[in-house]
């Protein structure tokens, strides 16, 4: 059974240990719209009950949607240092 599970889990990727997304919490906490949460296809951004935003950077697809959608310029993005590497098989 273990061998079958190894063969089914074919997509592998390495995540840069350093976050490549930063948000300015002082701005985000005042934002009512939270457009970044609505437009991110990967669910990278999560709102806490107190209004702060948690960034799950390892989920990021690097599409830039949240960066463009934020009207306050609160999101700072840089590509991961080593990029994201995928391996099939």
Domain assignment present for residue 44? The answer is yes
Q: Residues 6 or more apart from 5 whose CB is under 8 A from it?
A: none
Report in angstroms the alpha-carbon separations of 22 from 5, 48, 71, 81.
36, 16, 15, 14
Categorize the per-residue pLDDT at 11 as very low, low, confident or very high, splitting at 50, 70 and 90: low
Domain assignment present for residue 14? The answer is no
* More confident site: 72 or 59: 72
Q: Which single residue is written with the structure tokens 């697809």?
A: 61
Read off the pTM: 0.75
Q: How many domains does the chain have?
A: 1
Q: What pLDDT, in 10s, does the model give residues 20-61?
A: 999 999 999 999 999 999 999 999 999 999 999 999 998 898
Q: Return the pLDDT at 16.
A: 79
Domain assignment present for residue 87? The answer is no
Domain assignment present for residue 64? The answer is yes
For residues 23 and 53, the answer to whether their CB atoms sit within 8 Å is yes
Domain assignment present for residue 65? The answer is yes
The CATH number of whichever domain residue 45 belongs to comes to 3.30.70.20
Domain assignment present for residue 12? The answer is no
Q: CB 21: neighbour CB atoms within 10 A?
A: 19
Domain assignment present for residue 6? The answer is no
Domain assignment present for residue 7? The answer is no
At 30, list the tokens: 């005042």
């Amino acid at each position: 059974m273990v061998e079958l599970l190894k063969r089914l889990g074919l997509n592998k990727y390495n995540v840069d240990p350093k976050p490549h997304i930063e948000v300015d919490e002082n701005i985000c906490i005042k934002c009512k719209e939270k457009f970044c949460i609505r437009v991110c296809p990967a669910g990278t951004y999560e709102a806490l009950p107190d209004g702060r935003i948690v960034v799950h950077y390892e989920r990021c697809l690097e599409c830039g949607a949240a960066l463009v959608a934020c009207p306050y310029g609160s999101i700072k993005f840089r590509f991961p240092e080593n990029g994201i590497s995928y391996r099939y098989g």
